[in-house]
Structure 1
Amino acid sequence: MRSAKIKLSLNPVVPNRLRGWSNPVVPGDHPDPTIVQVGDTFWASATSGEWSPQFPLFRSTDLVDWTPSGSIFPQQPAWAEGAFWAPELVHDEVSGRCFVWYVAKKRGGPLCIAMATAPTLAGPYVDHGPMVCEQDGSIDPCFARDEHGKPFLIWKEDGNSQNRPTPIWAQQLSEDFLHLVGEKTKLIVNDQPWEEGVVEGPYILRHDGRFYMFYAGNSCCGKECKYAEGVARTDRLLGPWEKFPGNPLIAANDKWRCPGHGTAVHAQGRDGKAAQDYLLYHAYPAASTIYVGREAVLDAITWSEPESDGKPGWPSVNAGTGPGEPVKVSPIDFVDDFESPMLGSSWQWPVNTNPDLVLDGGSLTLGIPLHSPLGAGPVESAMIAVPRPAGLHYRASVALDLAVDSDSRLWSGLAIVGDPFNTIGLGVRGDRLTLWQRRGATQAVLWQIAAPVGRAIYLRSTSFGAEHHLQFYFSVDGEMWQVAGDPYDASDLPAWDRGLRIGLMLEGPQGLRATFRGFELCADSVLI
């Protein structure tokens, strides 16, 4: 039987010292998370970046245990070529409608904000294409109704991409939400020292008649990130807005780095419990930084006493101590024996590609397509990958069938992937077992031997050390493993905005194929 298992949640009965859950609630590379409650169910999604399918969907009944539920776009929107960022799930209580705002780069154009509608948050989603495409780029959408009930789109103009300010705008929507009407109004701009060149990721929560904008500031990503989360408030949606004097609301601590870009949810109370506001946002785990990527963390929002005018005060998260402290949890493993006729939902592939896949009772045959999807240019590779476990150390293994008449032009094997142009992998090319590296347009052979004789070869990679180092291995029986090449420092592999992934990869002429069996990805590995 098929065994594709991934545990995406933590054990809610093991509390940390403050709360009844532990962070991250959605481990792995899930930046810019969005969350909404409909009835007894919470729905969440996150940035998918340069990976397909676009925007993974998760559902939960307790905010802690999350189940993968497909994706918003199983097929890539044809108008967009990449940068699938910052989805914002919406269930509008006034109209009862479900939809999602999202960001993507228009083919040959700038970053745009687009919208798709669905009968329920589970989908299916019908894409309506781009709505806002400013020259500097338009990103990070959110939806709010003003004090009169009129619908508005709020977003960031991506001025920092051109060394300009980054205003947060609001503009009224038509009643069907498909068009902007009137003129846009500037709500805030980056004008505080902690924000440096950026304010972004707005989300507006109404609390006791006031509007509160949760927003992120400073640099989001990579080893040098300085991200943090702030808040501003107003009595009227179009302002004027007042920023919290104590910003940032959430900053780094010794467990988490660069927290920000959150979505709030007013969780309705059940079983006699009071309603509670929560913020779902992302942060890098301090112990493993960029290699895991930005993980989705959850914290409760508390509110200060009303002020002298009787109006509510400012929100607080963990009394200003940063993201909630993580606790030790069980390893998060992924196993796929390819018994299902459908590819498991945790697998991804690079945008603008559509690898040929054949699943046949315990094997996956991966092929380089004969035709380029979406006009993306010549096809010279195929890849599927899964996000690595949440944690610095892991072990990944797969069996690769050895063809009798192996084509010397085809490389196939197991790869550690920053993006398709920054990879290292162990595999077979012709009659050689090769440790292979790609950096942009440059490819290099780091180690090779004559390929072992047999029906299959087993390939393995482990990570180890305080930083991210890799060691590759091979086996002819899946039991006795031999070292393949020297340890490799993979610190330069991750893309600026993504964690690493573990991929099954081919490179070579169109139409060539390779067959894999028994993929395993296990956290907290011990070196062989």
Structure 2
Amino acid sequence: MTTRRDLFKAMAAGAVALPLPAFATGATPPSAPPARVPGVEGQRKADLGDGTYLNPIVAGDHPDPTILKDGDDYYMTFSSFLAYPGLVVWHSKDLVNWTPVGPALQQNLGDIWAVDLCKHEGRYFIYIPANPTGQGWSIYAIWADDIRGPWSAPVDLGISGCIDPGHVVGEDGRRYLFVNGIRKIRLADDGLATAGELEDSYRPWRYPDHWITENFAPEGPKLLWRDGWLYLVTAVGGTAGPATGHMVIAARSRSVHGPWEHCPRNPLVRTLSAHEPWWSRGHATLVEGPAGDWWMVYHGYENGFRTLGRQTLLEPVEWTGDGWFRALGGDLSRPLPKPRGATPGPNGHALSGPLSRERFGVQWSFHQPRPEEMQRVRWEGDTLVLAPAGRSPADSAPLACIVGDRAYQAEVTIELEPGAEGGLLLYYNPKAFVGLGFTADTVKTFQYAEELAWARQPRATRQVRVRMTNDANVVTWEYSHDGGRSWTLHGTRMEVSGMHHNVFGGFLSLRVALYGTGGGAVRLRDFAYRAIAETAGA
């Protein structure tokens, strides 16, 4: 009698053939969103080319967006958590088409949450909540005279136990940071030290107790002066948990010191049902468009794809006669008219190509490196040489790449120096990853953060090309020892839809990752990426 365990062993050894996904069929799942204009490598692109756009404007794990209008330019950055180099700054001319500029943070500050990007008297600042020791949060600042850098080393402002800063200049001409709570503290004129004590500022509007949310969690304060009013936009309801939790509320005052009045339309944005395409919508910033229209930028989880992390969304805003505003986009399931008055610029960036120095920090970043591990890479032409770390993928601080497509293929060539182990992963954190690993004589299988020791396959390997296909959270693996002329289908497919924050915490996403461990370096080259049509479940 053939047992389930025997079947798994046969699959791992390649004795049981499984059909590959029919990528070219073009089958559309019943809940598919409207048709898109594909971007570079087929990646998701918000601009539909007909005067409309379809969210997200920045796909993949780009949460807690902080946006700066700087003349005719817009700049945006996001929480980078445990990725180093971190805090990639993005640029746009029209709020819809975005391209990366480069990472602003090189030094390892540990976990980094929602930051604030601002400009004051010609100088750019990023205020950074960070937890460098794992023992508590503080807010740091970095600055630059050019948005493209170089950026300064971090300065600890000594604002302990706080996250989610929002910078504003009060009617008194002084600088302030608002933080979670909602509290505020005055800054020195140069913005690089405090000049007062942390104090309560605003008691947020409270939703009815019977609403289904994660927790109250007032956070993400973003502030804007308009027509003599200071508007305070805040997130409440929790940033994950139930789909209907996170929301956007607003208040206003004539003074940075209050008193504040609640917006009568609160909440301005909220997911009302788990049937909507975007869940947990919140953490918003108001921004003026190129032609004077107004918009709200915030994040949300995509229905069924929490694995992609919180993605960046754009919603039109209308100012009303009573001096308040309201959101006009609804549940964001359909295309919306683009902001007026700007010529579209480039969108996205190619992920395929050499793992060059220029891609380090923009595309590829270490996950949770120890300080010394920032020096683990060197380049030999178009080859990235990764020094080993740790004993397994779990503690190897892999190089990870954010992806934003619901279905895609990724492949890379791996060359092992003597004693090395290397491989290709889908990586959330040390407790949640899947992938294939290779040593000089063995193919290893990692499923849900564990190596399946019974699935080890003997195979002499010095160089191998590995391909991963993620088709709507169903992952297929292949590898080739002859440069891609012939491929071996790995016998185990992996379903990864549960590998997200609501299971494993951390507010992260499932990323393509490369690891190296053991006693020798791993040489990596010719990474290739392309979006594909979804077929899983079709």
Give the TM-score, by structure 2 length: 0.79
Shift in Å, 1:62: 1.8
1:303-346 Cα deviation digits (max 9, x unpaired)? 1113xxxxx2x211116x2447358xx99862023466864721
Equivalent residue, structure 2, for 1:499: 509
Q: 2:255 aligns with which of 219, 232, 236?
A: 236
Equivalent residue, structure 2, for 1:481: 487
Counterpart mapping for 1:12-411 below 5 A = 12=47, 14-15=49-50, 20-76=52-108, 80=109, 82-92=110-120, 95-107=121-133, 109-134=135-160, 137-156=161-180, 167-189=181-203, 191-193=206-208, 196-221=215-240, 226-252=245-271, 254-267=276-289, 269=290, 273=291, 275-286=292-303, 288-306=304-322, 312=323, 314-318=324-328, 321-323=330-332, 325=334, 334-338=351-355, 343=360, 345-351=362-368, 352=370, 353-354=373-374, 356-368=376-388, 381-388=396-403, 390-401=404-415, 406-407=418-419, 410-411=420-421
Conservation of the 8 A alpha-carbon contact between 2:73 and 2:91: yes
- Distance in 1 (alpha carbons) for counterparts of 2:361 and 2:171: 44
Conservation of the 8 A alpha-carbon contact between 2:85 and 2:365: yes
Shift in Å, 1:39: 2.1
Conservation of the 8 A alpha-carbon contact between 1:368 and 1:382: no
Secondary structure at the aligned position of 1:335 is classed as coil
Letter in 2 for 1:237: V
Equivalent residue, structure 1, for 2:10: none
- Distance in 2 (alpha carbons) for counterparts of 1:224 and 1:10: 24
Larger RCO (CA under 8 A, 6+ residues apart): 2
In the alignment, structure 2 segments of 5+ residues that lack a partner are 1-39, 337-346
1:73-119 Cα deviation digits (max 9, x unpaired)? 1333xxx3x22111211112xx3332111110142531111111211
- Distance in 2 (alpha carbons) for counterparts of 1:36 and 1:8: 25
- The alpha-carbon distance between structure 1 residues 339 and 192, as it changes in their structure 2 partners (threshold 3 A), is closer
Shift in Å, 1:526: 6.5
In the alignment, structure 1 segments of 5+ residues that lack a partner are 157-166, 307-311, 371-378
The alignment status of 1:471 with 2:481, answered yes or no, reads no
Give the TM-score, by structure 1 length: 0.81
1:423-463 Cα deviation digits (max 9, x unpaired)? 22112123111212463xx644362222156x632212212
- The alpha-carbon distance between structure 1 residues 418 and 339, as it changes in their structure 2 partners (threshold 3 A), is closer
- The alpha-carbon distance between structure 1 residues 11 and 256, as it changes in their structure 2 partners (threshold 3 A), is closer
Letter in 2 for 1:515: R
Residue identity (%): 26
Conservation of the 8 A alpha-carbon contact between 2:401 and 2:511: yes
Letter in 2 for 1:483: L
Shift in Å, 1:298: 1.5
1:144-168 Cα deviation digits (max 9, x unpaired)? 1222332211111xxxxxxxxxx20
Conservation of the 8 A alpha-carbon contact between 2:440 and 2:460: no
- Distance in 1 (alpha carbons) for counterparts of 2:361 and 2:259: 48
- Distance in 2 (alpha carbons) for counterparts of 1:443 and 1:153: 46
Conservation of the 8 A alpha-carbon contact between 2:411 and 2:527: yes
- Distance in 2 (alpha carbons) for counterparts of 1:45 and 1:447: 42
Letter in 1 for 2:283: H
- The alpha-carbon distance between structure 1 residues 526 and 64, as it changes in their structure 2 partners (threshold 3 A), is closer
Secondary structure at the aligned position of 2:53 is classed as coil
Shift in Å, 1:38: 1.6
Conservation of the 8 A alpha-carbon contact between 1:355 and 1:366: no
CA RMSD between the two structures:
2.9
Letter in 2 for 1:169: R
Conservation of the 8 A alpha-carbon contact between 1:367 and 1:382: no
Q: Stretches of 4+ moved more than 4 A in 1?
A: 5-9, 222-225, 330-333, 339-342, 525-528
Secondary structure at the aligned position of 2:269 is classed as coil
Aligned residues: 468
- Distance in 2 (alpha carbons) for counterparts of 1:243 and 1:152: 21
Conservation of the 8 A alpha-carbon contact between 2:416 and 2:422: no
- The alpha-carbon distance between structure 1 residues 224 and 53, as it changes in their structure 2 partners (threshold 3 A), is same
- The alpha-carbon distance between structure 1 residues 108 and 448, as it changes in their structure 2 partners (threshold 3 A), is closer
- Distance in 2 (alpha carbons) for counterparts of 1:514 and 1:331: 29
- Distance in 2 (alpha carbons) for counterparts of 1:7 and 1:362: 24
Secondary structure at the aligned position of 1:126 is classed as coil
Secondary structure at the aligned position of 1:291 is classed as helix
Secondary structure at the aligned position of 1:188 is classed as coil
Conservation of the 8 A alpha-carbon contact between 1:365 and 1:514: yes
- Distance in 2 (alpha carbons) for counterparts of 1:357 and 1:525: 34
Shift in Å, 1:172: 2.0
Conservation of the 8 A alpha-carbon contact between 2:218 and 2:237: yes
- The alpha-carbon distance between structure 1 residues 171 and 255, as it changes in their structure 2 partners (threshold 3 A), is same
Secondary structure at the aligned position of 2:412 is classed as strand
Conservation of the 8 A alpha-carbon contact between 2:416 and 2:440: no
Equivalent residue, structure 2, for 1:458: 465
1:38-70 Cα deviation digits (max 9, x unpaired)? 222211110001111121111122222212111
Equivalent residue, structure 1, for 2:36: none
Secondary structure at the aligned position of 1:109 is classed as coil
Conservation of the 8 A alpha-carbon contact between 1:331 and 1:524: no
1:179-221 Cα deviation digits (max 9, x unpaired)? 3233443223354335742111010112211121111111212
